[in-house]
Each structure stands twice: as structure tokens, then as C-alpha cells.
Amino acid sequence: MTYRLKKGDTVLVLSGKDKGKKNKIIKVLRAEDRYVVEGTNMVKKHQRPSQKFQGGIIDMPVALQGSKLALVCPRCSKPTRVGFSTPEGGEKVRSCKKCNEIIDKV
Ligand SMILES: [Zn+2]
């Protein structure tokens, strides 16, 4: 099984209230194909007081569906679909469908 997106990727939000935002994936929920993207899909949560935190309302990013996200290619800086290929004798890589550049190893 290979995955299109991973932690540290910059993604573009394709739908929802944060449509058009570009930010980094900070957490991946593989089983659900959901991704927490920094500063997007924020919801207010009530937090109980703890030793470190006095309690109150905090903003938390909530995971977005993978289908709502497009990878922003680090080579051409465009939102793109991710392709997979295996160079002869090499390891499987992710590549950009727009510029055809290799992004990284899977
Ligand atoms: Zn590209």
C-alpha cells in the first residue's frame, strides 16, 4: 500500500471553509485517510484545567479527508496529483503529474 500524502507535505485545501489554504500536514491518520493540516479546519474546544493549562477555549485543527487535499509540488509549487513510479533498479518514488519531477521516495 502506498500513500499519496505524508507528514511534512504542503497541501492545498480543495473544499470546505478553508478552501484555498496552503499549509503543512502535521499529523496523519492512515487508517482513515485523514490528515491534520496546520492552521486549517480549526474548531474551538473546551479544555479542562490541567497542571500545564489553566483551562478555557482553545483552537484545535481537525483532520481533513485526503480527498479534500492536493499536494503542492515542492519542485514547481503547483497543486498536483501524485504519481508513483519505480526507476529501474531503484526504490519507488512519488512524482508530480504537472512537472514530472520526482518528489521523494515513498
Ligand atoms: Zn511539480
19-75: pLDDT as tens digits: 999 999 999 999 999 999 999 999 999 989 988 888 899 999 999 999 999 999 999
- Residue 14 located in a structural domain: yes
- Residue 89 located in a structural domain: yes
pLDDT band at residue 101 using 50, 70 and 90 as cut-offs: very high
Question: Distance, CA 102 to ligand 1 centroid (Å)?
Answer: 8
- Residue 39 located in a structural domain: yes
- Residue 3 located in a structural domain: no
Question: Distance, CA 82 to ligand 1 centroid (Å)?
Answer: 9
- Residue 4 located in a structural domain: no
d(CA 24, CA 32): 18
- Residue 19 located in a structural domain: yes
- Residue 21 located in a structural domain: yes
**Per-residue 3-state assignment (H helix, E strand, C coil) for the chain:** CCCCCCCCCEEEECCCCCCCCEEEEEEEEHHHCEEEECCCCEEEEEECCCCCCCCEEEEEECCEEHHHEEEECCCCCCEECEEEECCCCCCCEEEECCCCCEEEEC
- Residue 5 located in a structural domain: no
CATH number at residue 34: 2.30.30.30
pLDDT at 47 (0 to 100): 87
Q: What is the pTM of this model?
A: 0.85
Looking at the structure of the chain, the number of domains it has is: 1
Question: Distance, CA 39 to ligand 1 centroid (Å)?
Answer: 24
What nine digits make up the cell of 48?
479542562
Question: Distance, CA 45 to ligand 1 centroid (Å)?
Answer: 37
Question: Distance, CA 80 to ligand 1 centroid (Å)?
Answer: 7
pLDDT at 74 (0 to 100): 96
Range of the domain at 78: 10-49+58-105
Question: Distance, CA 5 to ligand 1 centroid (Å)?
Answer: 15
State CA 82 to chain mean position distance: 13
Ion ligand 1 neighbours, Cβ < 5 Å: 73, 75-76, 96, 98-99
- Is the pLDDT at 1 greater than 70? The verdict is no
pLDDT at 2 (0 to 100): 75
Are 11 and 37 in contact by the 8 Å Cβ rule? The answer is yes
